[in-house]
Chain A
Amino acid sequence: MGAGTRTASPAAAGGKGGIHVAALGPGADLAGFRTAARRLIAAGIPPEAIVWQSETPSLFGADTAPAEAPPLALPRAVTDLIPMVVPHRDPERYGLLYALLWRVVRGERALMEVASDPLVHRLHRMRKAIARDLHKMHAFLRFRRLPGETERYAAWFEPDHHILEAAAPFFVDRFRNLAWSILTPEGCAHWNGALTFGPPGRREDLPEGDGFEAGWRDYYESTFNPARLNLDAMRAEMPRKYWRNMPETAAIPGLIRAAGARAQAMIERGPTIPEKRDPVRAVARMARDEPDSLVALNAIIARSEPLVPGATQAVLGEGPMGPAIAFVGEQPGDQEDRQGRPFVGPAGQLLARAMAEAGLDRSEAYLTNAVKHFKFSLRGKRRIHEKPTAGEVSHYRWWLERELGFVAPRLVVALGATAVLALTGKPVPITRARGPADFGRAFAGFITVHPSYLLRLPEAAKADAYRAFVDDLRRVAALVA
């Protein structure tokens, strides 16, 4: 929109004083105001020497393309305020904003903090009015589906201020995958992958009704509680002027009329005797249908999705029930994920070897993981193991708890920090906690390293660490002997 300012008074020809007319486009001419304000401030024109005209695009037109004056450096509070006041219907809006700019650039940099200043107070109230108008448009506008095969929607709305352009982005963000138009008496907004604005619309351009309006009205009526009638609260938030464009409001008079009698009837009717028989058996059966066996629990785990997407399948625990020892690892690795069995990869093989050396029979122990799904990142075609976070461990801990409850081992060996976290809920450094541990459960506990840790050590350190691991397993064997 074109914005021109010119000196209207002959006195100004002399270069001093005079009245400047700043003519802006209709509606919310933010760009025009910015251009005009920059130039007027640059020229040192005080607020009282300016007449702001809007809604008069033809008067001065774009006959003199205004020369750009430099942008004004303003506090954030001011630049945030301007676009929220420009859409106001009050013809004084530009003059008030300019008065604010004038004072701010002349030294009152913190003026926006003085909410008690009459000018700031008034601008704040205008901003509030715009915020409310925007909010109500976002809330009370109703789309109707247009007839035809393709899905298109249209709405008619009558805002109080010039807010169509300011209100439109909300609908774009929300209804991005739909095609829609918003018609107002001042202009229209259209979205079909791109946002465009057009000339004013008419209410009659909208179809009468929509397939879901009756259902919506039903909902509105049903969600109303006649025992709590409070019309003031309703009218304060949803003033009558909006009602005619909201299909559900047709129900209001009827709801109000019937409310007193409905509420009174409920009170007078008093308590009633149940007509149906008490569903004793259903109620008895309902109480907790938690899995009652490991098989039932495993079925739940097997059909659940991984918390971090990617894993092929859930890897369930394996081994005899009621064993002397259960081993809890971290999570399945690449091999485990492919085969669907725990401890079959390199770390599992190392564990088997160490167990054998310690005199433990692998087939007599129960083996499982704290987290049931493989988490990895792709490097080329390789799936690189990623450590589960504390949140992921918590997510899976319920299953581990129940699982160990069913398996009922005499002693649980936590392999590595993740297993300890899952069993205790607290992060514990392995090096310090290594050895017998109390997990506060029915079974005895023991903490040692995870065999994959041994695989990652430098060659020189491997032999010692492996020996220490086997020693740990010997202590475990002694504990359950």
Chain B
Amino acid sequence: MDETLARKLRILADAAKYDASCASSGAPKRKAGADGLGSTTGAGICHAYTPDGRCVSLLKILLTNYCLFDCAYCVNRRSSNVARARFSVEEVVTLTVEFYKRNYIEGLFLSSGIIRSPDYTMEMLTRVAKKLRREHGFRGYIHLKSIPEASPWLIEEAGLYADRLSVNLELPTEASLNRLAPEKDGAAIEGAMGQIGERIVQAREEKRRFSPAGQSTQVIVGADATTDEALIRKSAFLYGSYGLKRVYYSAFSPIPDASSALPPKAPPLRREHRLYQADWLIRYYEFSPDDVAGASEGGMLSLDIDPKLAWALKNRHCFPVDVNRADREMLLRVPGLGARAVDAIVKARRHGRLRLDDVARLTSGLKRARPFLIAEDFRPTTLTDRLDLRATLAEPAEQLSLF
């Protein structure tokens, strides 16, 4: 690989890393054709982990980090002094194919700064995907960032080649968008999400390819004053209205060349983690946004305990829960019991009453679950009434503060 290309890669990978999404999941299982390259497994694969603990699954790069937009939180905003570079379509294709052949990556996650115009930029992104699919028979994963300001037919075309499309919301309220991302238009962003969502459903019905792994978005946490409750309500709305697969929460991170509108500070990693947990409760644990709101204080989730435990502590009258009799929905509310453990409990108890030892074999979270459940040979007595229960279950506050 020559040094010019390597330099571009360094700049354009650095410029892309603030996008939290790395998933290569959700695409229908595909195998390489006789002359083709690449497959998808459904669940996705993380090919490496960087020391920030994040997975490297896709080659996540920008086509260019030149950008005409001036979003205060973004390292690539036009007023930033960072080094700039631009890949050609062929260069991105070469990097993707060569990295893929060495089993470094699952595919490509391509985004771009807006250059010349949104339409021009979107066409370039689509051209990369099209070339990979057409000329290289590439069946690996392709995630394209859609430019919401681009003409709708360009999004239609992108969906034909991508496994996943995403449009980043970045800021959850119109007021924050106006202040921090003046060129962005909230209505255009949600309009594009609506279009993509509708086309995904339609294409599935017609057994046609259009972004088969769905769409996702990202919101930045900590760049504005939006509360956790508002973020979760927004996410629940996005999941419900546009059929989003994922909402990514990205703790606002210091960037090399910060804007005076958003001075750099340590990223709120713990808060980001709690938001993911709450999001998980909404998607897999039958929690409503109201439940999450009820588990928070003044709209903010506790940093020292997870939101499920926070909900349980505020709703002690619902516990303890009998593992041998409670319905699935209630078992899902027990701190320490994951969805898989709950399913295993429901199955296993058909064949005999479960003792605490049995439950221990079905979950790795028994220590946290114990105060909240009843087994054949176990009752937590007065434990749920103890005032210090929170303290005994809370994580040490500094655990994730790695500065």
Tell me if B298 counts as interface (CB < 8 A to partner A).
no
Which of B11-19, B309-317, B331-339 binds A?
B11-19
Least CB distance from A258 to B in Å reads 10
CB-defined contacts of A399 to chain B, threshold 8 Å? 153
- Contact (Cβ within 8 A) A283 B78: yes
Task: Report Cα–Cα, A271/B203, bound state, in Å.
Answer: 46
Output the least CB separation between B242 and chain A (Å).
16
Q: Which of A38-46, A55-63, A137-145, A345-353 contacts B (4 or more CB under 8 A)?
A: A137-145
Q: Are A110 and B351 in contact (CB under 8 A)?
A: yes
**Is A237 an interface position by the 8 A CB rule?**
yes
- Proximity bits, A262-285, B CB within 8 Å = 1, else 0: 011011011111111011001101
Out of A155, A230, A267, which one reaches B51, CB within 8 Å? A230
For B52, list chain A residues within 8 Å (CB): 224-226, 228-230, 233-234
Nearest-Cβ distance from residue A178 to partner chain B, whole angstroms:
6
A153/B102 in contact, CB under 8 A: yes
Contact status A394-B31, CB under 8 Å: no
Is the Cβ of B37 less than 8 Å from the Cβ of A177? Answer: yes
Of residues 1 through 48 on chain B, the ones whose CB sits less than 8 Å from some CB of chain A are 1, 5-6, 9-11, 13-14, 16-18, 31-39, 41, 45-48
B402 to chain A, nearest CB (A): 5
Query: Does A391 have its Cβ within 8 Å of any Cβ on chain B?
Result: yes
A150 within 8 A of B: no
Cβ–Cβ contact A231 & B53, under 8 A: yes
Chain B residues near A138: list those with CB within 8 A. 41, 45
Interface residues of A in 211-240 (CB under 8 A from B): 211-216, 218-234, 237-238
Is the Cβ of A142 less than 8 Å from the Cβ of B263? no
What residues of chain A lie closer than 8 Å to B39, measured between beta carbons?
A: 170, 173-174
Q: Do A289 and B120 touch (CB < 8 A)?
A: yes
* CB of A230 to closest CB in B, whole Å: 3
B50 touches A176 (CB 8 A): no
**Residue of A at shortest CB range from B199?**
A394
A237-B46 in contact given A114-B351, A115-B347, A274-B81 (Cβ < 8 Å): yes
Contact A266 B16 (CB under 8 A): no
The interface stretch among B173-181, B227-235, B252-260, B387-395 is: B252-260
Residues 140-162 of B, flagged 1 when their CB comes within 8 A of A and 0 if not, give 10000000010111001100100
- The contact size tier of chain A is 35 or more
| Cβ-based interface call for B213 (8 A) | no
B9 CB contact (under 8 Å) in A222, A233, A287, A391 = A222
Does B6 contact A214, Cβ atoms closer than 8 Å? yes
Q: Does A302 touch B at the CB level, under 8 Å?
A: no
Does B183 belong to the interface (CB within 8 Å)?
A: yes
B236: Cβ under 8 A from any A Cβ: no
Contact of A232 with B31 in the complex, beta carbons under 8 Å: no
In the complex, what residues of B have CB within 8 A of residue A118's CB?
361
B402 near A230: Cβ-Cβ < 8 Å? yes
Known A-B contacts A174-B39, A266-B258, A279-B68; the reply to A288 vs B17 at CB < 8 A is no
Chain A CB within 8 A of B99 CB: yes
| Interchain CA distance A290-B152 in the complex, whole Å | 10
- Whether A175 contacts B37 by the Cβ 8 Å rule is yes
Q: B367 in the interface, Cβ–Cβ < 8 Å?
A: no
The reply on A135 being an interface residue by CB < 8 A is: yes
Do residues A248 and B48 form an inter-chain contact, with CB atoms below 8 A? yes
Chain B residues near A (Cβ < 8 Å): 1, 5-6, 9-11, 13-14, 16-18, 31-39, 41, 45-56, 59-61, 68, 70, 78-81, 95, 98-99, 101-104, 114, 116-120, 137, 140, 149, 151-153, 156-157, 160, 183, 198-199, 202-203, 205-206, 208, 210, 251, 253-267, 269, 344, 347-348, 350-352, 354, 357-359, 361-362, 400, 402-403
Q: Which 7 A-B pairs have the closest CB atoms?
A: A233-B53, A230-B53, A116-B358, A222-B13, A274-B79, A289-B117, A271-B260
